[in-house]
Amino acid sequence: MVSFRDQQEDGQYTLLAMNTDGDDGSTHSREYLFIHAIDYAETPSSKVTKTGGHEMEQMMAMWLYLKDG
């Protein structure tokens, strides 16, 4: 399974230029991708869809962001 952190809380994986400054987290680029050692299914895994679920059977985490400009 794959999951992501929705920093902007808009239901989308949004790539932005690297930004972690300021108090407004909605402008931060910290939307992570998590790869889990859980078989893929078309419905979300209850292991992942809970507080701290990103750590469940985590194989890898990636923080992708766009290059400035």
pTM exceeds 0.85, yes or no: no
Q: How many domains does the chain have?
A: 1
What integer pLDDT is reported at residue 48 of this predicted model?
Answer: 92
26-37 per-residue burial string, b: 16 or more CB within 10 A, e: under 16: eebbebeebebe
Domain, as residue range, for 2: 1-69
Kindly report, residue by residue over 17-68, the tens digit of the pLDDT.
888 888 877 788 888 999 999 999 999 999 999 989 888 999 999 998 998 8
Q: What angle do CA 19, 2, 26 make, to 5 degrees?
A: 25
What integer pLDDT is reported at residue 8 of this predicted model?
Answer: 84
